[in-house]
């Protein structure tokens, strides 16, 4: 006779978490100068350079916001070049939202005074809920939204000068056109997520739910 024990319940819960996370891979459609990479050890100026590539990497997956988060852009439209700060429709992501965070980074080889004209498009399989481009806001969210083993600097995406990006009406596609010269251009993109954090699943309610499912599976197996 098979008995439901704490050990077997824990094993079932952990297996379920792995299954959920394994099914969470994002399907991206990328074109132009964008190339997806794994989170690098550092994107401090001069560490990840290219004259023809905008680097894209995932920072966080299934992050549960525990407080409201202010972002720079939440609405579709064309932003920059020479944007006015008054025309940026800032927004707030509510506490309790599950998000994934992504980072886009362009940094030419050396420090070209004329700048390199990059252009690329990425379409996410989940809705974009916010974009962060302000240097202070980028720096202030590195700890929360950044990749845990990546070192960052304070360069922003400068739509108030030469840079531009377009957020599609369906909030899935982002086209960016940074002109990057003596510095770097950085942009943080937040999308909806369907991946729950393990701690969220392992709460009391989650354990009861998984336990009930486990019991139903055992009953079917015995019948």
What are the tens digits of pLDDT across the range 97-108?
Answer: 999 999 999 999
pLDDT-derived band at 196, boundaries 50, 70, 90 = low
pLDDT-derived band at 14, boundaries 50, 70, 90 = very low
pLDDT-derived band at 25, boundaries 50, 70, 90 = low
For 209-222, the pLDDT digits (tens) are 444 444 444 444 44
Contact present, 186 and 107 (Cβ < 8 Å): no
Helices and strands of the chain, counted as H and E runs: 4, 14
* Extents of the domains making up the chain: 36-195
Nearest to 188 by CA among 118, 99, 65, 64: 99
Q: What is the pLDDT of residue 90?
A: 87
pTM metric for this prediction: 0.77
CB-based burial label for 174 (10 Å; 0-12, 13-18, 19+): buried
pLDDT-derived band at 143, boundaries 50, 70, 90 = very high
Nearest to 130 by CA among 163, 94, 164: 94
| Residue 213, SS3 per DSSP | helix
If you average pLDDT over residues 71-100, what whole number do you get?
90
Q: What is the pLDDT of residue 20?
A: 40
Token couple for 133: 């481009």
pLDDT-derived band at 18, boundaries 50, 70, 90 = very low
Of the listed ranges 147-151, 167-171, 184-188, 209-213, the one predicted with least confidence: 209-213
Residue 52 in this model has a pLDDT that exceeds 70: yes
If you average pLDDT over residues 176-188, what whole number do you get?
94
The fraction of the chain above a pLDDT of 90, given in percent, is: 66
Q: What is the pLDDT of residue 26?
A: 61
DSSP string, 123-174: E-SS-EEEEE--HHHHHHHHHHHS-TT-B-------TTTT-EEEE-TTS-EE
């Amino acid at each position: 006779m098979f008995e439901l024990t704490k050990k077997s319940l824990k094993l079932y819960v952990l297996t379920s978490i792995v299954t959920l996370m394994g099914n969470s891979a994002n399907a991206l459609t990328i074109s132009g100068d964008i190339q997806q990479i794994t989170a690098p050890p550092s994107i401090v100026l001069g560490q990840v350079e290219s004259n023809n590539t905008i680097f894209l990497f995932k920072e966080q997956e299934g992050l549960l916001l525990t407080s409201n988060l202010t972002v720079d852009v939440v609405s579709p439209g064309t932003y920059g070049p020479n944007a006015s700060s008054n025309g940026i429709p800032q927004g707030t992501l509510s506490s309790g939202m599950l998000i994934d965070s992504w980072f886009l980074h362009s940094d030419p080889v050396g420090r070209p005074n004329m700048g390199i004209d990059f252009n690329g498009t990425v379409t996410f399989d989940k809705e974009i809920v916010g974009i962060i481009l302000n240097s202070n806001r980028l720096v202030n969210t590195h700890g929360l939204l950044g990749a845990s083993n990546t070192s960052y600097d304070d360069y922003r995406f400068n739509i108030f000068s030469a840079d531009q990006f377009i957020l599609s009406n369906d909030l899935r596609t982002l086209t960016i056109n940074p002109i990057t010269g003596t510095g770097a251009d950085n942009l943080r993109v937040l999308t909806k997520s369907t991946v729950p954090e393990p701690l969220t699943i392992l709460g009391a309610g989650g354990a009861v739910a998984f336990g009930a499912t486990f019991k139903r599976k055992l009953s079917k197996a015995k019948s």
